[in-house]
Amino acid sequence: MESPVNGFFRMDEESFERLSQYVTQEYGIKLPATKKSMLESRLNKKVKSLGMSSYKEFLDFIFSDEGKQGELYHVIDLITTNKTDFFREAAHFHFLTQQFLPGYQNQGSRNHLKIWSAGCSTGEEPYTLIMTLEEYKKTHPELTYNLLASDISIRVIQTAYQGIYDLEKVEPVPLEMKRTYLMRGKLNPRLVRVKPQYRKKIQYKRINLMDDHYGLVKNDLDIIFCRNVLIYFDKATQEKVIRKFCNLLRPGGLLFLGHSESIMGMDLPLRQVKPTVYQVQ
Ligand SMILES: C[S@@+](CC[C@H](N)C(=O)[O-])C[C@H]1O[C@@H](n2cnc3c(N)ncnc32)[C@H](O)[C@@H]1O
């Protein structure tokens, strides 16, 4: 039995291998040896709170039938990296409304958009899309849209659904948009909440991008945002996921990736229209 030093459990090599293999296989997320201390610091509290005396005991439990029903989901919540921001990589939102949408709407009167924010984290990305589209609708009232937001982590989906953020978090939102889309917390003035009429525009779903099917209809989506998610996957897995996106997008539809992600070297029916923005051919 390993005793924790100053209340901190060390993960033995075998447990690290077991956990990292599982996470890579099930969720696509690479966990090289350099991530071991990050994992230890994220999981330490959980191991303690379950009253376990070692990582071996902890993993035996979370991979047991009982653990798979409950705790395993919370472990995934702790392992994923959820960093996100409102108007992150703002050029994407400008491109969408200033360059792409006017032309796209003209082709075959596509006035109803189906958009998916895949790996939406705590909601900043789908809410930025809502604000961007609602602003665009002021001059293009014929546009309607559906917005699906998904993640593997239930915890972040719950946060997104609540739509409550610290004031500092909404700093990137322009003042006029803050007034239109956000309201001040009644009990805590350091918090703001997305107004209910905008919160309810997003549909949430837990989707693991490693699954063979996402329960979505082929050639039915106009736009997929999957930014800063695939970066945690290896190249072959990234290509597999993007191929599934291509099947879900209509011809002419767009895929937005994160600033450090690319499809270079992949054989996909996509053409680059802007850095990290791709169109299905
Ligand atoms: C760094 S955040 C990116 C959030 C947002 N797209 C952005 O760019 O700001 C990455 C998100 O991907 C999610 N994720 C990681 N692996 C996933 C998988 N296999 N399926 C679905 N989501 C996953 C994580 O839970 C996390 O919330």
Q: What is the dihedral of CA 171, 177, 180, 185, to 10 degrees?
A: 0
**131 falls in which pLDDT band (50, 70, 90)?**
very high
pLDDT digits (tens, 9 = 90+) for 187-213: 899 999 999 999 999 999 999 999 999
Residue 183 banded pLDDT, cuts 50, 70, 90: very high
Handedness of CA 245, 248, 254, 256 (dihedral sign): negative
205 backbone dihedrals φ, ψ, rounded to 5°: -150, 140
Phi then psi for 64, rounded to 5 degrees? -75, 170
- Res. 108: pLDDT tops 70: no
| Set 10, 18, 42, 110: catalytic member | 42
- The SS3 assignment for 165 reads strand
% helix, strand, coil for the chain, step of 5: 45, 20, 35
**DSSP H stretches of helix in 98-206:** 101-106, 124-137, 154-162, 175-181, 196-199
Based on the residue annotation, tell me whether 12 is a catalytic residue of this protein.
no
Looking at residue 3, its pLDDT comes to 65
What residue type is 39 in one-letter code? L
Q: Residue 8 has what pLDDT?
A: 82
Q: How far is the CA of 1 from the centre of ligand 1 (A)?
A: 35
Residue 221 predicted with pLDDT over 70: yes
Report which of 121, 129, 164 is spatially closest to residue 145, judged by C-alpha positions.
129
Report the nearest atom of ligand 1 relative to the CA of 117: 6
Q: For residue 24, report the distance from its CA to the centre of ligand 1, in Å.
A: 14
Q: What is the mean pLDDT of residues 83-93?
A: 98
Strands, E, within 177-265: which ranges?
Answer: 182-184, 191-194, 202-206, 221-226, 249-257
Q: How many CB atoms lie within 10 A of CB 1?
A: 6
Structural domains of the chain in order of their starting residue, each with its CATH number: 13-79 (1.10.155.10), 91-280 (3.40.50.150)
Specify the DSSP class assigned to residue 35.
G
